[in-house]
Amino acid sequence: MQPPEAFPAQTPAVAQIFTTVLSHGPLTRSEVAERTALSAAAVTKAVRPLIEAGYLVEDADDAARRALGRPANPVRVDGGRALFIGVKATGNELIGVLTDLCCRIRVARHLPLTDQDPRAVLAAISDLVGELRTEAEGLGVPVLGLGLAVSGDVDRARGVVRYSPFLGWSEVPLAELAGMTCGLPVTVENDVRALTVAEQWFGAGVGLSDFALVTVGAGIGCGLVVHGQVVAGAHGVAGEIGHVAIDPAGPKCRCGNRGCVEAIAADAAVLDRIRETTGADVADTAQAIDLARRGEPGAREAYAAAGEAIGRGIATVANLFGPQRVIISGEGLAAYDLFAEQIRDSFTAYAFGSAAQCDVQTRPLPFEEWARGAAATAIQSFIRSD
């Protein structure tokens, strides 16, 4: 298998143009110039080497050429030019995907995690990546990057998982270790921010300069896009609405504070509240949802409280950042009918002024999409690398 020709020199213009075509293409050069606010000459200069290297292809249509000899043929990304692997790690499972350059999933695999020790997880990641690389060999296309998505406090620049509560990790240099184990360039990112990249490029955030992705489930997460950039903040923890305290007398959160959104609305918090108020021995979220749908008052109240907390968290995001859209996703949407009304009412009550005009929508995304987000970060690093 011959590696593809190297990606052209990554000037900011090249990366911007390629990303624009990746998200919005096919586009003519004039449309690229309009979307990027770059000159026609700058676009032409950047597009030419991308076509020569095979990362962009031109859809030829001689009849469509414009006056003055400027080509009006649209250009698009050749998704089959390269492959990438994305892996999402949960507390008990690895979900891996093999994607093309357009982040379309070609193959998906699940691998149980029975041991959360970093060495055991690295071995499992290596096995999963090996399976996916074997699939890539069958396609005859090289894998050029690996993205790993992990919950918690992740320093992408250093490739370090500073703290992951669901894995019990602290200061794990995951990018370095996975790079040595798997032999690929590795990008490590917080799982919600990775999913946000995928939504920005290929999902409900395409074309939006400012939006937020709020995830509900085992935790409450939030990815932020401000002025077209996914925001990590100076310390890498921007968007942690799960740890916004809304009730000082509320239940204790795993972060040590009381009354955080996550301490009220995360799956484990809802289960604890149902057990406490009903005495029912609910083993998991599926049983809790069933109990609430059968009308058990304590279970319904627990989900109502979760919805109220999530709505307040979303209102906080809207008040602080003024996004055009808030996308609600995560495995917690399985119970959405039980707290949708409370989310809407709470958001309306706490959103200030015109912030309430924010478009709030739901978007169920399976864990394969979270792994796709990890692959998207690997593609992003490939486009922007030196």
SS (H, E, C) 255-296: CCCECEHHHHHCHHHHHHHHHHHHCCCCCCHHHHHHHHHCCC
pLDDT at 246 over 80: yes
Sign of the Cα pseudo-torsion (157, 77, 223, 189, in order): negative
Contact status, residue 378 vs residue 5, Cβ threshold 8 Å: no
Q: Are residues 107 and 235 in the same domain?
A: no
pLDDT at 28 over 80: yes
* Type and span of the H or E element at 159: none
Q: Are residues 96 and 73 in the same domain?
A: no
Task: For 50-80, write each residue's pLDDT tens digit.
Answer: 999 999 999 876 445 444 555 578 999 999 9
Mean pLDDT of the chain: 92
Q: Are residues 66 and 103 in the same domain?
A: no
Mean pLDDT of the region 218-222: 93
Q: Which residue has the tokens 């070609």?
A: 106
Mean pLDDT of the region 15-25: 92
| Residue-level pLDDT at 61 | 60
pLDDT at 162 over 90: yes
Q: Which residue has the tokens 């020709």?
A: 5
| Residue-level pLDDT at 69 | 54
| Residue-level pLDDT at 10 | 67
Q: Are residues 225 and 271 in the same domain?
A: yes
| Residue-level pLDDT at 70 | 54
Is 377 part of a structural domain of the chain? yes
Nearest-Å Rg of the Cα atoms of the chain is 22
| Residue-level pLDDT at 233 | 86
Residue 227 backbone phi and psi in degrees, to 5: 50, 40
Domain final residue pick, 77, 100, 120: 77
Mean pLDDT of the region 325-336: 95
- For 357, the token pair is 């005009």
| Residue-level pLDDT at 258 | 94
Which residues lie below 8 Å from residue 351, measured CB to CB, with a gap of 6+?
A: 314, 315, 318, 319, 358
pLDDT at 234 over 90: no
| Residue-level pLDDT at 238 | 87
| Residue-level pLDDT at 7 | 77
Contact status, residue 101 vs residue 141, Cβ threshold 8 Å: no
Helix, coil or strand: residue 376: helix
Mean pLDDT of the region 235-249: 89
What is the C-alpha to C-alpha distance for residues 261 and 317, in angstroms, rounded to an integer? Answer: 13
What is the C-alpha to C-alpha distance for residues 300 and 293, in angstroms, rounded to an integer? Answer: 8
Q: Are residues 151 and 286 in the same domain?
A: no
Q: What's the N-to-C CA distance of the chain in angstroms? A: 24
Whether residue 8 has a cis bond before it, omega within 30° of 0 = no
pLDDT at 45 over 50: yes
Is 6 part of a structural domain of the chain? no
| Residue-level pLDDT at 1 | 53
Domain final residue pick, 27, 52, 77: 77
- For 310, the token pair is 């999530």
Mean pLDDT of the region 237-262: 91
How many domains in the chain?
A: 3
CA 369 to chain centre: 8
- Render the burial of 268-294: b for 16+ CB within 10 Å, e for the rest: ebbbebbbeebebebeebeebbebbee
pLDDT at 2 over 70: no
Q: Which domain holds residue 293?
A: 206-362
- For 147, the token pair is 């993205």
pLDDT tier, 118 (very low <50, low <70, confident <90, very high otherwise): very high
| Residue-level pLDDT at 63 | 45
Q: Looking at residue 239, what DSSP letter applies?
A: T
User: Which CATH number belongs to the domain containing residue 138 in this structure?
Assistant: 3.30.420.40
What is the C-alpha to C-alpha distance for residues 343 and 314, in angstroms, rounded to an integer? Answer: 9
Domain final residue pick, 41, 58, 77: 77
| Residue-level pLDDT at 35 | 93
Task: For 280-303, write each residue's pLDDT tens digit.
Answer: 999 999 999 999 999 999 999 999
How far is the CA of 313 from the CAs of 9, 68, 222, 321, 365, in angstroms? 42, 54, 10, 12, 20
Is 301 part of a structural domain of the chain? yes
Contact status, residue 385 vs residue 351, Cβ threshold 8 Å: no
Dihedral through CA 299, CA 303, CA 308, CA 312, nearest 10?
Answer: 140
Which residues lie below 8 Å from residue 6, measured CB to CB, with a gap of 6+?
A: 53
pLDDT tier, 244 (very low <50, low <70, confident <90, very high otherwise): very high
Task: For 179-208, write each residue's pLDDT tens digit.
Answer: 999 999 999 999 999 999 999 999 999 999
Q: Which residue has the tokens 């490939």?
A: 382
Is 5 part of a structural domain of the chain? no
Q: Are residues 379 and 357 in the same domain?
A: no
